[in-house]
Amino acid sequence: MAEFGVSTPSVGVAGAKPAASTGKALSVVALRKTYGDAVAVDEASMEIAAGEFVTFLGASGSGKTTTLMMIAGFCEPDSGTITVGGRDVTRLAPQKRNLGFVFQQYLLFPHMTVGENVAFPLQLRGVPKEEIRRRVGQTLEMAGLSGFAGRRPRELSGGQQQRVALCRALVYRPPVILMDEPLGALDKKLRDQLQVEIKTIQQELGLTVIYVTHDQEEALVLSDRIAVMRNGRIEQFDTPRELFERPKTAFVADFLGAANFLPGRVEQQSDAHTLVRLDHSGGLLKTRRHDLAAGVAVTVAVQPGRLRVCPPDDGFCTGTVETATYVGSVVRAGVRIDSRDTSRDTSRDTSRDTGRDTGRDTGRDTGRGAPLLRLEVPAGRGPVTGERVGICADPDDVNLFPGEQGR
Amino acid sequence: MAATLAGVPARPRRLLASRRTRIGILYALPAVAYLLALFVYPIFSTLLLSVQDLDGSLTLHWYADALTGVNLSVLFTTLRIAAETALFSLVIGFLLANAISRLRPLPAALAMLIVVVPHFISALVRTYGWIIMLGDKGLVNQLLAGLGVPGAPYQLLYNEIGVVIGTTAMMLPYTVLLLYGVMRGVDRRLLAAAASMGAGRLVIFRRVYLPLVAPGLATAGLLSFILALGYYITPALMGGPNQTMIASLINQQVMKQNQWNGAAAEGVILLLLTFAGLLLVKLVSSLGEAKKRSAS
Amino acid sequence: MTTSPIGRRALLRGAAALAALPALAACGTGTSRSSSASGGSGAGGGKTVAVRNSGGAYGEALKKAIYDPFTQETGITVQVANLDGAQVLAQIKQGRPQVDLIDNSMMDHAKFVRENALEQLDLDRLKNVKTAQLPENLITEYAVAVNFYAQCMAYRTDAFGGRKPESWADFWDAKAFQGGRSMCNPDADLPELEFALLADGVAMDKLYPLDVDRAFKAMERIRGEVKKFWDSGPLPGMLLTRQEVTMATVWHGRLADLFKQGVPVAAQLNGARRQFQGYAIAKGAPHLDAAYQLFDYSIRPEVQARLAMTYPTNPSSPLAYDKISEEVRNGLAGAPQYYDKGFDADTEWWLKNEEAVTKRWLGWARG
């Protein structure tokens, strides 16, 4: 229990950052869980460093919660191992793993006061009474809950209850704190506020957190690294920046940034670049080098913010600005690409209000006609509706996936 | 709680003056009349009867009678058996309800049915059933003797053991139903939450589960205690003269001796005992609450 | 306010359970009223008579053997109410009895007389009292006995190596006749002091007034052998059947079922105690004429005999026994060959002493 005895009053709660602030806090190897024929988690592996904030991001049914539950010990994996601080906990009961858990439904003990709730895990660990009193007080103060110790959970608002739950999970300084959509039951404003609080506390105390959410914005705000999950698999486990700029799959590119997808074929390889001939415009697009043979069908993905407007002759394609919406610092524009078959150029139906369409389905209509590219360009030199423009992209900003991807 | 109370003091007078309150009182009238006619009046007439001598003069000798000699020892027996019944039906009811609350709906309903069935069996058939089960040549004793348990056959009928077995069986539907309801209301995820922060099974049970079902336990225990106080058919079936209950004395006096005054006095005593039981539980629970408050 | 939401919910559930109590209790008690002989109501121009009896198998037998034929003969509808004595008494005291004729034990009738709740009988309107040759002691100013039951000894024939207990002294002799005993509880019937005195050597015709001290002293000797003081009629039979006891006091009529089931039990009618059941008319009875008619009808020897053929009860009229088949007669405690072996309980003595004896009994039994 030595780690609880440490007390350096300068820091928010009870002293120094966790002892193991270097090295692995948690590792998961080839974790697999099936329910009958359905594979809930498929060979998930990852290593999480101490002090890291990791988010499992995915739609419902992607396996993110199941993975978290297996780490917590609430459900048992079919195979694979889970190691916490070098200790194999795969088959241990939840109470023997010394982890913290924050639930979406708070799950405060209704028969205990706020103070008793937070003191509970410390009592379990045989921390002396005085020490408990001090640490509970500190923790509640840090969460802005001083003066609430004597209240019952049901007398608190949802946000306050979740703060208490957070206090309860971190007061005993577990090496890893697991959070299962902890802000899912709160309204938007409160959610934003608590995100900041959670992040602040995590950084201040150097907590290792595994966080589950389906909200990509939340994941981007909070995380050091995000595991994007899909169909029980970890699609990509990377920093938000990497995920955003170097998505390994079209799914990740789409899930995080709502990228523009364009089909094409590899035209030729150079030392540094790969050239792609786009199907629709017939233009050539330069990307980072990928080892792909000429003629292979590929999909390129570019985030809206990474496309630029340029003189028509300079771009990898040309098009007509259909919409241009001023949204503060940027202009969101929809550009209809000129097709190789120019006769179809003007036959596009305009029934869809692409201006309000934030671009989620940009490029989705590849097969039906000329795609609409979504751009976010600095407001100053924004394009005008009806203008014919060229579109450029830095090769580094273009991602390339083999095959007919997109969706 | 403090917040809701803060606004109260100034209100009563305004409340009475308001039209809505007056209409409310009007609506309450039938209920009040009903209570007066069916509860208050009979209780008062029973009270009156219990302090009236045969010639109509006031006396306390029915109470003196009821609280001396055999009657007093019957009173103590009643209290003892009621307490034992409450205890056992609580413990067994808890175990059963706990088991049933973990079953899937269909088996749970079936198990509940088995618990409730004895209530719908006539006393006569039940008597016979108990003899077959618990008699010297009954199933239990035959089994024990067959297993070579020393001292078998045990006397399981016509003594206090028999009575408590019988009354407990009769009480079980109440305690099980009550506790089952409470247990179903407990959010099982709270137990998971406790486990997540390191609590073992025993600690979870003691610190989380038990406190959450405690109100149900108090209610169930009190209910079975109070119900058992008024029992006499089962004690008569399963016990001997030493297990005579006060309700049995009341019955004898009214039915055999047409002696209402003494019966009324005993009835009043039974009523007071019931209130005392209620008070005790209230006291214990508020004491526990106070202790908790001061601790935190 | 210490109740958590759960607590409040639990209390509500508790309240619901309490509310369900009366419903459950209703399953257990059988005080329902049933009208009888509705088939014959047309002939009598709506004349009815209401009679109280204790219901059950005995009530069924009464309807079949007496009420239905009576309705057929007179056209008077018989309404049956299975009320407790206390209920009937309360009704009479309020001046609105719901029953005219009361079928009850002679002891209870005597208690009603003390409460001034019965009509004084006009014996001229009960012609059959004479023709049935009822013994004098069965006719009182307020009630007439029509049948009786005997309380006697029953034993397992397989328990004593072929020997038969012959007397109450044998019942008391736990060495010669081993095994548990069962005797009655005052909840069921009068304490069995007479049996104790007979066992102690008092002659049958010298029983009353009972020597209570001596009786309890004798009872003390058997106390340790008594496994259960029975409080309902079928219980001693059950105990004998299940071999929980080898000997029990028993209402003789209840043995018929055991014989039918082939249980190895036998009755010993030596020293049996007889108690009489009779009719009386409620004070202020609304259908006085009809009540007398049914009363008189019930005393007829052939009617008594018909009842005895239906249900093991013993007619009070000696003439009735000739009208009963020999097979049934031999099963009755009142049959001529057994009659002299038993004695009549002294209603007068018990009326005076029942309360005190019962109280003393309870103190004694609780030891």
Chain A contact set for B200 (CB, 8 A): 95
Of the candidates A285, A282, A281, A278, the one whose C-alpha atom is nearest the C-alpha of residue A263 is A278
Question: Average pLDDT, stretch B78-95?
Answer: 94
Each residue of C281-317: b (16+ CB within 10 Å) or e? bbbbbebbebbbbbbbbbbbbbbbbbbbbbbbbbbbb
State the smallest CA–CA distance between residue C365 and chain B in angstroms.
6
Is the CB of B217 inside 8 Å of chain A's CB atoms? no
Is the CB of A194 inside 8 Å of chain B's CB atoms? no
Q: Which residues contact C194 (CB under 8 A, 6 or more apart)?
A: C207, C210, C215, C271, C273, C343, C345
Of all helices (H) and strands (E), which one includes residue A102? strand A100-102
pLDDT score recorded for residue A262: 87
Q: Is B39 inside a domain boundary? A: no
Q: What is the pLDDT along chain C (367 residues), one digit of tens a residue?
A: 333 444 444 444 443 333 333 333 333 333 333 344 333 333 345 799 999 998 888 899 999 999 999 999 999 999 999 988 888 998 999 899 999 999 999 999 999 999 999 999 999 999 999 999 999 989 999 999 999 999 999 999 999 998 999 999 999 999 999 999 999 999 889 999 999 999 999 999 999 999 999 999 999 999 999 999 998 888 999 999 999 999 999 999 889 889 999 999 999 999 999 999 999 999 999 999 999 999 999 999 999 999 999 988 999 999 999 999 998 998 899 999 999 999 999 999 999 999 899 989 998 998 7
Strands A307-310 and C33-35: unpaired
How far, in Å, are A343, B27, B28, B152 from residue B18 at the CA level? Answer: 81, 15, 16, 73
State the smallest CA–CA distance between residue A117 and chain C in angstroms.
16
Q: Is B180 inside a domain boundary? A: yes
Neighbouring subunits of B (3+ Cβ pairs under 8 A): A, C
Mutation choice for C interface testing from B188, B256, B282, B289 by most C CBs within 10 A: B256
Residue C276: count of CB within 10 angstroms of its CB: 23
Write out A298-339 in H/E/C secondary structure.
Answer: EEEEECHHHEEEECCCCCCEEEEEEEEEEECCEEEEEEEECC
Of all helices (H) and strands (E), which one includes residue A90? none
DSSP letter for C119, please.
Answer: P
Higher-confidence residue of B148 and C181: namely C181
CA–CA dist C171, C167 (Å, integer): 7
Mutation choice for A interface testing from C2, C3, C4 by most A CBs within 10 A: C4
CA atoms within 13 A on the CB side of C64: 14
Count of domains observed in chain B: 1
pLDDT score recorded for residue C9: 42
What CATH code is carried by the domain that includes residue B223?
Answer: 1.10.3720.10
Q: Which residues contact C226 (CB under 8 A, 6 or more apart)?
A: C180, C181, C182, C183
Query: pLDDT at residue B281 above 90?
Result: no
How far, in Å, are B233, C28, C181, C190 from residue B124 at the CA level? Answer: 10, 10, 20, 21
Q: Hey, is B155 helix, strand or coil? A: coil
How far, in Å, are C93, C109, C224 from residue C284 at the CA level? Answer: 10, 16, 49
The angle at the Cα of C317, spanning C313 to C322, to the nearest 5 degrees, equals: 85
Is the CB of B191 inside 8 Å of chain A's CB atoms? no
How far, in Å, are A246, A313, A362, B185, C268 from residue A396 at the CA level? Answer: 9, 21, 21, 58, 115
CB A229 within 8 A of CB A62: yes
Question: Minimal Cα distance from A109: which residue of C?
Answer: C4
Question: Minimal Cα distance from B132: which residue of C?
Answer: C242
Question: Minimal Cα distance from A71: which residue of B?
Answer: B196
Of the candidates B78, B238, B242, B243, the one whose C-alpha atom is nearest the C-alpha of residue B158 is B238
Is the CB of C1 inside 8 Å of chain A's CB atoms? no
Question: Minimal Cα distance from B198: which residue of A?
Answer: A95
Is the CB of C2 inside 8 Å of chain A's CB atoms? no
Helical ranges in chain B per DSSP H: 2-6, 11-17, 19-35, 41-50, 61-66, 69-101, 105-116, 123-134, 139-146, 160-185, 188-196, 201-203, 210-229, 233-238, 246-251, 260-295
Q: Is B3 inside a domain boundary? A: no
Asked if C363 lies within 8 A of B286 by C-beta distance, the reply is no
CA–CA dist A74, A185 (Å, integer): 21
Asked if A149 lies within 8 A of B296 by C-beta distance, the reply is yes
Q: Which residues contact C340 (CB under 8 A, 6 or more apart)?
A: none
State the smallest CA–CA distance between residue C229 and chain B in angstroms.
7
Each residue of A61-77: b (16+ CB within 10 Å) or e? ebbbbbbbbbbbbbbeb
Taken as a whole, chain A contains a residue count of 407
Chain A contact set for B187 (CB, 8 A): 105, 107
Give the homologous superfamily in CATH for domain C150-275+347-366.
Periplasmic binding protein-like II (3.40.190.10)
Residue C354: count of CB within 10 angstroms of its CB: 18
Q: Tokens 């001083």: give the residue.
A: A146
How far, in Å, are B41, B74, B262, C367 from residue B52 at the CA level? Answer: 16, 23, 9, 32
State the smallest CA–CA distance between residue C73 and chain B in angstroms.
36
pLDDT score recorded for residue B11: 55
3.40.50.1820, 3.40.190.10, 3.30.70.890, 3.40.1410.10: which CATH number matches C43-148+276-341?
Answer: 3.40.190.10
Q: Tokens 């009655």: give the residue.
A: C184
Could you check whether C43-148+276-341 and C150-275+347-366 share the same CATH topology? yes
Identity of residue B234: T
Maximum mean pLDDT: which of A38-42, B56-60, B123-127, C62-66: C62-66
Question: Minimal Cα distance from A112: which residue of C?
Answer: C4
Asked if A111 lies within 8 A of C5 by C-beta distance, the reply is no
- Return residues 147-166 of A near C (CB < 8 Å): 154
Strands C48-52 and C101-105: parallel
What does the pLDDT look like over C244-303, one tens digit per residue?
999 999 999 889 889 999 999 999 999 999 999 999 999 999 999 999 999 999 999 999
Domain-wise residue ranges, chain C: 43-148+276-341, 150-275+347-366
Of all helices (H) and strands (E), which one includes residue C151? strand C143-156
Q: Hey, is C263 helix, strand or coil? A: coil
Q: Hey, is A353 helix, strand or coil? A: coil
**Partner-chain residue, chosen from B122, B127, B223, that has the shortest CB–CB distance to C17:** B223
pLDDT score recorded for residue C6: 41
pLDDT score recorded for residue C15: 39
CB A377 within 8 A of CB A309: yes
Q: Taking the alpha carbons of C38, C43, C45, C48 in that order, is the dihedral positive or negative?
A: negative
Q: Is B247 inside a domain boundary? A: yes
Q: Taking the alpha carbons of C211, C213, C214, C217 in that order, is the dihedral positive or negative?
A: positive
How far, in Å, are A197, A212, C312 from residue A202 at the CA level? Answer: 8, 15, 91
CB contacts < 8 A (A, C): 5
pLDDT score recorded for residue A218: 92
Is the CB of B101 inside 8 Å of chain C's CB atoms? no
Taken as a whole, chain C contains a residue count of 367
Instruction: Give C98's strand partners.
Output: none
State the smallest CA–CA distance between residue B289 and chain A in angstroms.
10
Is the CB of B274 inside 8 Å of chain C's CB atoms? no
- Beta strand segments in A239-283, E: 260-269, 273-278
CA–CA dist A203, B104 (Å, integer): 45
Is the CB of A72 inside 8 Å of chain B's CB atoms? yes
pTM confidence score: 0.75
Chain C contact set for B137 (CB, 8 A): 242-244
Q: Hey, is A373 helix, strand or coil? A: strand
Is the CB of B118 inside 8 Å of chain C's CB atoms? no
Asked if B190 lies within 8 A of A107 by C-beta distance, the reply is yes
Residue B109 is part of which domain span? 70-295
Would you call the peptide bond into B153 cis, given omega within 30 degrees of 0 as the criterion? yes
DSSP letter for C312, please.
Answer: S
Is the CB of B28 inside 8 Å of chain C's CB atoms? no
- Return residues 78-97 of A near B (CB < 8 Å): 93-96
Of the candidates B227, B204, B182, B206, the one whose C-alpha atom is nearest the C-alpha of residue B82 is B227
Q: Taking the alpha carbons of A277, A282, A286, A288 in that order, is the dihedral positive or negative?
A: negative
Asked if A105 lies within 8 A of B189 by C-beta distance, the reply is yes
Of the candidates C5, A354, A234, the one whose C-alpha atom is nearest the C-alpha of residue B181 is C5
Asked if B296 lies within 8 A of A109 by C-beta distance, the reply is no
CB contacts < 8 A (B, C): 124
pLDDT band at B42 (very low <50, low <70, confident <90, very high): confident
Q: What is the pLDDT along chain A (407 residues), one digit of tens a residue?
A: 333 333 333 333 333 344 444 578 899 999 999 998 888 999 899 999 999 999 999 988 899 999 999 999 999 999 999 999 889 999 999 999 999 999 999 999 999 999 999 999 999 999 999 999 999 999 999 988 999 999 999 999 999 999 999 999 999 999 999 999 999 888 989 999 999 999 999 999 999 999 999 998 899 999 999 999 999 999 999 999 888 888 888 888 888 767 888 888 888 888 888 888 888 888 888 888 888 888 888 888 888 888 888 888 888 888 889 888 888 788 888 888 887 654 334 434 433 334 333 434 444 444 446 788 888 888 776 688 888 888 888 888 888 888 765 44
CA B273 to chain centre: 12
CA–CA dist B167, B88 (Å, integer): 9
CB C109 within 8 A of CB C142: yes
**Partner-chain residue, chosen from A111, A112, A125, that has the shortest CB–CB distance to B198:** A125
pLDDT score recorded for residue A405: 57
Q: Is B268 inside a domain boundary? A: yes
Asked if A107 lies within 8 A of B199 by C-beta distance, the reply is no
- Return residues 112-151 of A near B (CB < 8 Å): 112-113, 115-116, 120-121, 124-125, 149-150
Asked if B203 lies within 8 A of A124 by C-beta distance, the reply is yes
State the smallest CA–CA distance between residue B186 and chain A in angstroms.
10
Chain A contact set for B214 (CB, 8 A): 111
**Partner-chain residue, chosen from C14, C180, C243, that has the shortest CB–CB distance to B178:** C14
